[in-house]
Amino acid sequence: MKTIDKFTFGVGDRFAHQAEAQLRAFQQLADRGIPVTPVWNKSNREHLIVGSEPAGTRAAADAAVSSLGWTSDYLLDADHINLGTVDRYLPHCDFYTIDVADDIGTPAAPEEIAAFIDRHPELIGTIEIEGIAAPLRITREDVEKTARQFLKACELAGRIYRHIAGAKDGEDFIAEVSMDETDDPQTPPEMLVILAAIADQDFPIQTIAPKFTGRFNKGVDYVGDLARFEQEFNDDLAVIAHAIKAYGLPGTLKLSVHSGSDKFSIYGPIRRALSRTGAGLHIKTAGTTWLEELIGLAEAGGEALALARQIYLTALEKKEALCEPYATVIDVDDSKLPGAEEVKEWTSEQYTGALRHDQSNPAYNQHFRQLLHVGFKVAAQLGDTYLDALKANAGVIGKNVTENIYQRHMVPLFLGEEDRPRQ
Ligand SMILES: [Zn+2]
């Protein structure tokens, strides 16, 4: 069984040109004494929108690793796969995000629920969990309700795992189960029932991605009750540690935070929880890199700035279609989007000021940023025009990509506020 490293950090590289710049951030962090394993992830949805293949992500990652002489582990994540989409990833990936969110709520049959409760009488009653002050009180009805809602999803996770393992034929891989793309957050008692159900499926789950309380919009900060998030995150850690012992789950099992990029206000609570408990973490930050490509182009000026402006103008025209697949994970207020006539005249400073995620800059515009976040299809449709611009401006783009991952994400998560750069 392949076990996952304590800290893993997912990066996304929509156009497969930034792997080296991303890896530099991991090198800088390793130089500060914190080993974090890079995981290049790309969902099927992104592959379809960009028109790319998992082989391309693998090739870009391998090339970066060899060019920078990275000798530690790294992983390729088949992000949000299911039985219908996993196969084309199989030759290229060693990390599988098994997405069963669509099966949450598919009701389990009464006899399946009864059998689950017979297997798990320990879930009913007063459960002391180390690290949670008040014991969990779970009634038979609670377990029935949670089982009805989640048993089928957990069963499907087992089926997908076995499908991958069969195809991999003995080759090691990491399995994550994700339930984040759903509306209702899973509570810590639900998490305990879910982990018992996953243990029944008898596969070595390494990370679990719940839906946390609050909004995890793409490319912008967390929106929600910070104190409640911190409580829930800490309780989830305690439940996982408990379930590892109670159900013989892998000792390396850890939480995975999806849409983790740019959630600056929860990095402090996460870091405190990790340093208090010694727990590991997986965090995905895929989309933030593509925006750094735009920032780099805008910063370069001239034709590159004109291209960055053009991408926004097209995104503005096609706003509805671009936002539609991401409707539940963005909040764009049309009235706050800068108009086409205005952006046509923007300087490098105006463009980068609006886009770069620096909340202390009055020019920063989260609506502009979110629209561009989902606007990568526009760049994909530009084909070589866009890719040639990436190549011509690789230096300035790469600098922004590395700085964004290292200073805005890794430093607050792994080193702490005191290390944050002055803006
Ligand atoms: Zn996700």
Compute, in angstroms, the gap from residue 362 CA to the centroid of ligand 1. 30
Task: Give residue-wise pLDDT tens across range 72-86.
Answer: 999 999 999 999 999
pLDDT at 330 exceeding the cut of 90: yes
Compute, in angstroms, the gap from residue 179 CA to the centroid of ligand 1. 8
Compute, in angstroms, the gap from residue 183 CA to the centroid of ligand 1. 12
Please give the share of the chain, as a percent, with pLDDT higher than 70. Answer: 98
With respect to residue 423, please indicate whether it lies within any of the assigned structural domains.
Answer: no
With respect to residue 1, please indicate whether it lies within any of the assigned structural domains.
Answer: no
Compute, in angstroms, the gap from residue 395 CA to the centroid of ligand 1. 30
Of 252, 286, 320, the position where a domain reaches its end is 286
**What domain range includes position 173?**
7-286
Compute, in angstroms, the gap from residue 120 CA to the centroid of ligand 1. 29
Calculate mean pLDDT across residues 398-417: 95
Structure token digits, residue 18: 């930034």
d(CA 85, CA 82): 5
Determine the distance from the C-alpha atom of residue 402 to the mean position of all C-alpha atoms in its chain, rounded to a whole number: 18
Of 286, 319, 343, the position where a domain reaches its end is 286
The confidence score (pLDDT) of residue 2 equals 86
Q: Do 139 and 263 share a domain, yes or no?
A: yes
Mean pLDDT of the chain: 96
Task: Give residue-wise pLDDT tens across range 226-250.
Answer: 999 999 999 999 999 999 999 999 9
Compute, in angstroms, the gap from residue 258 CA to the centroid of ligand 1. 5
Provide the pLDDT confidence category of residue 422 given band limits of 50, 70 and 90: very low
Q: Do 145 and 212 share a domain, yes or no?
A: yes
Compute, in angstroms, the gap from residue 37 CA to the centroid of ligand 1. 19
Task: Give residue-wise pLDDT tens across range 100-116.
Answer: 999 999 999 999 999 99
Cα dihedral angle (328, 331, 335, 337), rounded to 10 degrees? -110
Please give the share of the chain, as a percent, with pLDDT higher than 90. Answer: 95
Compute, in angstroms, the gap from residue 10 CA to the centroid of ligand 1. 11
pLDDT at 411 exceeding the cut of 70: yes
Q: Do 305 and 248 share a domain, yes or no?
A: no
Compute, in angstroms, the gap from residue 336 CA to the centroid of ligand 1. 27
Compute, in angstroms, the gap from residue 215 CA to the centroid of ligand 1. 13
- Distances in Å between the Cα of 162 and the Cα atoms of 169, 179, 205 are 10, 18, 12
d(CA 363, CA 133): 44
- Residue list, CB under 5 A from ion ligand 1: 180, 258
Determine the distance from the C-alpha atom of residue 347 to the mean position of all C-alpha atoms in its chain, rounded to a whole number: 32
The confidence score (pLDDT) of residue 182 equals 87
Compute, in angstroms, the gap from residue 259 CA to the centroid of ligand 1. 6
The confidence score (pLDDT) of residue 328 equals 86
d(CA 96, CA 276): 29
Q: How many domains does the chain have?
A: 2
Compute, in angstroms, the gap from residue 267 CA to the centroid of ligand 1. 18
Calculate mean pLDDT across residues 260-283: 97
Biggest CA pair distance of the chain = 69
Q: Do 48 and 184 share a domain, yes or no?
A: yes
Q: Do 242 and 312 share a domain, yes or no?
A: no
Compute, in angstroms, the gap from residue 328 CA to the centroid of ligand 1. 12
d(CA 378, CA 381): 5
d(CA 327, CA 19): 28
With respect to residue 319, please indicate whether it lies within any of the assigned structural domains.
Answer: yes
Q: Do 90 and 227 share a domain, yes or no?
A: yes
Compute, in angstroms, the gap from residue 212 CA to the centroid of ligand 1. 11
With respect to residue 249, please indicate whether it lies within any of the assigned structural domains.
Answer: yes
Compute, in angstroms, the gap from residue 181 CA to the centroid of ligand 1. 6
Compute, in angstroms, the gap from residue 101 CA to the centroid of ligand 1. 10
Q: Do 168 and 263 share a domain, yes or no?
A: yes
Q: Strand 95-99 vs strand 125-127: parallel, antiparallel, or unpaired?
A: unpaired
Residue 123 sits in a domain whose CATH number is 3.20.20.70
With respect to residue 349, please indicate whether it lies within any of the assigned structural domains.
Answer: yes
- What's the CA angle centered on 43, arms 37 and 48, to 5 degrees? 140
Compute, in angstroms, the gap from residue 342 CA to the centroid of ligand 1. 35
d(CA 366, CA 219): 8
Q: Do 282 and 297 share a domain, yes or no?
A: no
pTM of the model: 0.96
Compute, in angstroms, the gap from residue 80 CA to the centroid of ligand 1. 7
Helical pair 188-201 and 110-119, crossing angle rounded to 10 deg: 90
Compute, in angstroms, the gap from residue 84 CA to the centroid of ligand 1. 17
Compute, in angstroms, the gap from residue 309 CA to the centroid of ligand 1. 29
Q: Do 97 and 241 share a domain, yes or no?
A: yes
With respect to residue 263, please indicate whether it lies within any of the assigned structural domains.
Answer: yes
Compute, in angstroms, the gap from residue 180 CA to the centroid of ligand 1. 6
d(CA 65, CA 74): 8
With respect to residue 271, please indicate whether it lies within any of the assigned structural domains.
Answer: yes
The confidence score (pLDDT) of residue 181 equals 86
Q: Do 193 and 52 share a domain, yes or no?
A: yes
Instruction: Characterize 101-122 residue by residue with b for buried, 16 or more Cβ atoms within 10 angstroms of its Cβ, and e for exposed.
Output: bebbeeebeeeebeebeeebee
d(CA 321, CA 26): 35
Q: Do 278 and 348 share a domain, yes or no?
A: no
The confidence score (pLDDT) of residue 417 equals 60
Q: Do 255 and 317 share a domain, yes or no?
A: no
Calculate mean pLDDT across residues 43-51: 93
Compute, in angstroms, the gap from residue 107 CA to the centroid of ligand 1. 23
With respect to residue 412, please indicate whether it lies within any of the assigned structural domains.
Answer: no
Compute, in angstroms, the gap from residue 97 CA to the centroid of ligand 1. 8
